[in-house]
Amino acid sequence: MNSGIDLEMSFTQGVQHLGLSHELAHLLWIPLPMLLVLVSAVIGVLVTVWLERKISAAAQQRIGPEYAGALGILQPMADGLKLLVKEDIIPARADSVLFTVGPILVLVPVILSWLIVPFGQNLLISNVGIGIFLWIALSSIQPIGLLMSGYSSNNKYSLLGGLRAAAQSISYEIPLALAVLAIVMMSNSLSTVDIVEQQNTAGFLSWNIWRQPVGFIIFWICALAECERLPFDLPEAEEELVAGYQTEYAGMKFALFYLAGYINLVLSALLVSVLYLGGWGFPISIDWFSSLIGLSIDNPLVQIIAASLGIVMTILKAYLLVFLAILLRWTTPRVRIDQLLDLGWKFLLPISLVNLLVTASLKLAFPMTFGG
């Protein structure tokens, strides 16, 4: 396997040529990808918010935002600016410390999870060995933030919303983790890079979605539930709970929830594409394509084109899934809380267990196709 472009090595070598020690060069490198990912996550959110407004408008036969920039692309910026300058209100008898920490605890794990999203062979912050497991562990911190903000608002709707949110994300985390486990079993690794590489042997035919169709559906449903998107947006069901745990929040603290929700949506879409749709892989194998033109895969030009194609493919796949999520939000009715819990515990959990069992036996029976 070729190693592709390694930006970190080139950067540290370049800095070392300037006369700095290796450690210092590494220290200088560390903040760069973090900053890049933070910026790309926020831009991803802005794009998603714009898409949400435009697609919802189309679904309801409206025009949607139009005046802020061409086709209203600056509307999310205007929204953000509005939230930034709004007064920050803490309700009189609320617990101000917990009220402030809550939204931060919701946002930070989501941003940390971007650590493991690969855009290419070496285009991720850190190829940690526990990869996808880190994401599952980090996403389990979120309910604490939700409970915290629900409790500290000193409002019964907030408390109910917080409890619902925590219950929902606990119950959907189990089928989610089991669906991921089936993938891990097939690729023999928890690392996201290995999972993608194992899928890119024969173009789109080797993507995991063909081998794990049930897992794909389970993962998608659970991801939507974890993001609290519409068929499952029980924690903030307007008709019952005003706005759930967000009821008392205004200004930037509300914006943190908003941001966390959308970053989580983009992240889930990216992870679905990584786990099931071949990540940065092009539908046709690049190796085969380059040999067709007669260029070696190690050719710098081929490398650069392949890397940029990888980034484009990852983002394209993710945004196709985001589009699907937005369409689902504006066309499906909300489920009831008992239906939600029934779906999670009585349907998804047994199905995902069976899926795991079938994957294990298929792996034993056909080690060639199901990763021996």
Which residues in this chain contact another protein in the complex, by CB under 8 A?
A: 23-24, 27, 98, 128-130, 133-134, 136-138, 140-141, 143-144, 147-148, 151, 159, 162-163, 166-167, 170, 173, 190
3-state secondary structure string, the chain?
A: CCCCCCHHHHHHHHHHHCCCCHHHHHHHHCHHHHHHHHHHHHHHHHHHHHHHHHHHHHHCCCCCCCCCCHHHCCHHHHHHHHHHHCCCCCCCCCCHHHHHHHHHHHHHHHHHHHHHCCCCCCCCCCCCCCHHHHHHHHHCCHHHHHHHHHHHCCCHHHHHHHHHHHHHHHHHHHHHHHHHHHHHHHHCCCCHHHHHHHHCCECECCCHHHHCHHHHHHHHHHHHHHCCCHHHCHHHCHHHHCCHHHCCCCHHHHHHHHHHHHHHHHHHHHHHHHHHCCCCCCCCCHHHHHHHHCCCCCCHHHHHHHHHHHHHHHHHHHHHHHHHHHHHHHHCCCCCHHHHHHHHHHHHHHHHHHHHHHHHHHHHHCCCCCCC
In whole angstroms, the minimum distance from the beta carbon of 306 to another protein comes to: 26
In whole angstroms, the minimum distance from the beta carbon of 19 to another protein comes to: 17
Minimum CB distance to another protein smaller for 193 or for 277: 193
Minimum CB distance to another protein smaller for 116 or for 266: 116
In whole angstroms, the minimum distance from the beta carbon of 317 to another protein comes to: 26
Minimum CB distance to another protein smaller for 42 or for 112: 112
Minimum CB distance to another protein smaller for 59 or for 136: 136
In whole angstroms, the minimum distance from the beta carbon of 4 to another protein comes to: 20
Minimum CB distance to another protein smaller for 55 or for 107: 107
Minimum CB distance to another protein smaller for 71 or for 130: 130
In whole angstroms, the minimum distance from the beta carbon of 243 to another protein comes to: 19
Query: Both tokens of residue 143?
Result: 């309910």
In whole angstroms, the minimum distance from the beta carbon of 311 to another protein comes to: 26
In whole angstroms, the minimum distance from the beta carbon of 138 to another protein comes to: 7
Minimum CB distance to another protein smaller for 149 or for 314: 149
